[in-house]
Amino acid sequence: MVDVRIGDAERERALERLGRHVGDGRLDLAEFSTRSEQVTAARTASELAAVEADLPRLPRPADPERERRVRRTVLAATWGPWALTAVVVLTVWAAVALGGGGGYFWPIWVIGPWGAVLALGTLTGRSVAGPCGRARTGAERVHRVHAPS
């Protein structure tokens, strides 16, 4: 298998990662200097990988587009069942009211408290209680539900 040559962009990213490792205390300045020289001299992907082989992988930086998609998915999963229930109970109430059976607006007891709890959770970002009563954020719920087994 042929080793792939790298460019300046790959070297820059490797130097940034080494800098983060210095900041996290995994490398001292002398070791950073040595590894930086190795990164600068690296010509192939395997040479670059060898410089970082004994260091843990750093987490990826946050992706704002992904966070927006996760938030939209969580909101749909949270509010969708409420909206469907609201349509059903309002339809039943309207059919009964049009049929001459009382005008008491009972759906408020079904959709009112539930909607208030959902609204409070949406505004605070802590809509569903997690284990041990700790409320999880929407992103935590989605990651837990869709986490690989």
Q: What's the rounded mean pLDDT across residues 35-58?
A: 92
Question: Among residues 59, 57, 58, 77, which one has the least CA distance to residue 142?
Answer: 77
| Cα–Cα distance for residue pair 6/40, rounded to 1 Å | 11
Contact 96/107 with Cβ under 8 angstroms? no
Angle, helices 29-41/8-23, rounded to nearest 10 degrees: 170
pLDDT value at position 137?
53
Q: What is the DSSP letter of 24?
A: T
| % of the chain residues with pLDDT over 70 | 83
CB within 8 A of 42, min separation 6: which ones?
A: 6, 11, 14, 48, 51
pLDDT digits (tens, 9 = 90+) for 76-108: 999 999 999 999 999 999 999 888 877 789 999
| Cα–Cα distance for residue pair 81/90, rounded to 1 Å | 14
pLDDT digits (tens, 9 = 90+) for 115-149: 999 999 889 877 554 444 444 555 555 555 454 54
pTM summary value: 0.47
pLDDT value at position 89?
94
| % of the chain residues with pLDDT over 90 | 56
Residue type, 135: A
Q: Which helix (H) or strand (E) holds 69?
A: helix 64-98
Q: What is the DSSP letter of 131?
A: G
pLDDT value at position 64?
86
pLDDT value at position 32?
92
Would you put residue 25 in left (φ > 0), alpha (ψ -120 to 50) or beta?
Answer: left
CB within 8 A of 9, min separation 6: which ones?
A: none
Name the average pLDDT for the chain: 84
